[in-house]
């Protein structure tokens, strides 16, 4: 299996690039942000709890997200692999993911981290906020709060995978096509090793 984590701060292009990657490599896309927005839109208790945090730019509690992820993995037991987008975001989440995958006799192959300067992140998200309706894109204060959460709680996840040689930075501030090409170069080298 090829199990990738597409890593990076809010607005770095994780969702955009995941879409392109699944089309080319046939992986299953798991975005915890999208799953949570879906729970909110259908008004489940989980969605109502998550919304309190999302609208402030804060991370949703680990137990909520980990439970949700475990359910989703059960729905897709057979897959060529997964691309995790926006998960794991804390040390507890990365530990839980490693365990869930090892129960399935698999593991994370590589973490690909999209590197984009902060000013560009804010510019992209303010621009999207004009039309997306996403509460967490509503203003610069919330967007900056998301970036602070990323630095405080999510960056340590990078160290966790770097220690085991599974972390790779990818330049993410070019065009969508340029970034996709850089990601494909990385993924093709992983596929070659697996084959
Ligand atoms: P989530 O939905 O994961 O959002 P995020 O990580 O904050 O990032 P975005 O989805 O906004 O950005 P992205 O990196 O996917 O970039 P995109 O491709 O969209 O999480 C939202 C919230 O849910 C969190 O704050 C938290 O509260 C909660 N949550 C989710 N997962 C959680 C977890 N595991 N634990 C706890 N809480 C969790 O691109 C952004 C914009 O830029 C788009 O408009 C796009 O068109 C544009 N763009 C993309 N690439 C380029 C490019 N190369 N050039 C120019 N524009 C570009
Ligand atoms: Mg996204």
pLDDT at 2: 95
Average pLDDT taken over every residue of the chain: 96
Has residue 75 got a pLDDT over 80?
yes
Residue 73 inside a domain? The answer is no
Q: For residue 77, how far is the Cα from the chain centroid?
A: 20
Residue 65 inside a domain? The answer is no
Ligand nearest to the CA of 137: 1
d(CA 160, CA 141): 29
86 CA distance to ligand 1 middle (Å):
7
pLDDT at 188: 97
Q: Does residue 131 have its Cβ closer than 6 Å to ligand 1? A: no
Q: State which residues form the domain around 109.
A: 2-27+79-194
Count of the separate structural domains present in the chain: 1
Residue 56 inside a domain? The answer is no
Q: Does residue 89 have its Cβ closer than 6 Å to ligand 1? A: yes
Which atom of ligand 1 is found nearest the CA of 69?
34
Transcribe 96-163 into DSSP letters. Answer: HHHHHHHHTT----EEEEEE--HHHHHHHHHHHHHHH--GGGS-HHHHHHHHHHIIIIIHHHHHHHHT
What is the tens place of the pLDDT at every residue in 80-120? 999 999 999 999 999 999 999 999 999 999 999 999 999 99
What is the tens place of the pLDDT at every residue in 24-64? 999 999 999 999 999 999 999 999 999 999 999 999 999 99
77 pLDDT tier (thresholds 50, 70, 90): confident
195 CA distance to ligand 1 middle (Å):
32
Which atom of ligand 1 is found nearest the CA of 93?
34
Residue 8 inside a domain? The answer is yes
Q: For residue 139, how far is the Cα from the chain centroid?
A: 22
78 pLDDT tier (thresholds 50, 70, 90): confident
Sign of CA dihedral 40, 80, 61, 137: negative
Residue 149 inside a domain? The answer is yes
Residue 16 inside a domain? The answer is yes
Tell me the Ramachandran region of residue 171: left when phi exceeds 0, alpha when psi lies from -120 to 50, beta otherwise: beta
Has residue 192 got a pLDDT over 70?
yes
17 CA distance to ligand 2 middle (Å):
9
CATH code where residue 116 lies: 3.40.50.300
The reply to whether the predicted model has a pTM over 0.75 is yes
Q: To test ligand 1's pocket by mutation, which of 10, 112, 121 has the most ligand atoms within 8 angstroms of CB?
A: 10
Residue 141 inside a domain? The answer is yes
Residue 117 inside a domain? The answer is yes
Has residue 181 got a pLDDT over 80?
yes
| Residue 46 host element (H or E) | helix 45-54
């Amino acid at each position: 299996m090829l199990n990738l984590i597409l890593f990076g701060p809010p607005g770095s292009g994780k969702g955009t690039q995941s879409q392109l990657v699944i089309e080319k490599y046939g992986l299953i896309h798991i975005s915890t942000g999208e799953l949570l927005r879906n729970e909110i839109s259908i008004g489940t208790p989980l969605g109502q709890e998550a919304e309190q945090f999302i609208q402030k730019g804060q991370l949703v509690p680990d137990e909520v997200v980990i439970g949700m992820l475990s359910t989703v993995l059960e729905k897709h037991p057979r897959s060529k692999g997964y691309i995790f987008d926006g998960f794991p975001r804390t040390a507890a989440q990365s530990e839980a993911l490693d365990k869930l995958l090892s129960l399935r006799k698999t593991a994370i192959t590589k973490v690909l981290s999209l590197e984009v300067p902060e000013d560009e992140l804010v510019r992209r998200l303010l621009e999207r906020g004009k039309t997306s309706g996403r509460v967490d894109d509503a203003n610069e204060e919330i967007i900056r709060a998301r970036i602070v959460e990323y630095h405080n709680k999510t960056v340590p996840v990078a160290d966790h995978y770097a220690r085991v040689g599974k972390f790779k930075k990818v330049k993410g501030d070019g065009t969508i096509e340029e970034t996709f090409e850089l990601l494909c170069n990385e993924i093709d080298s992983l596929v070659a090793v697996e084959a």
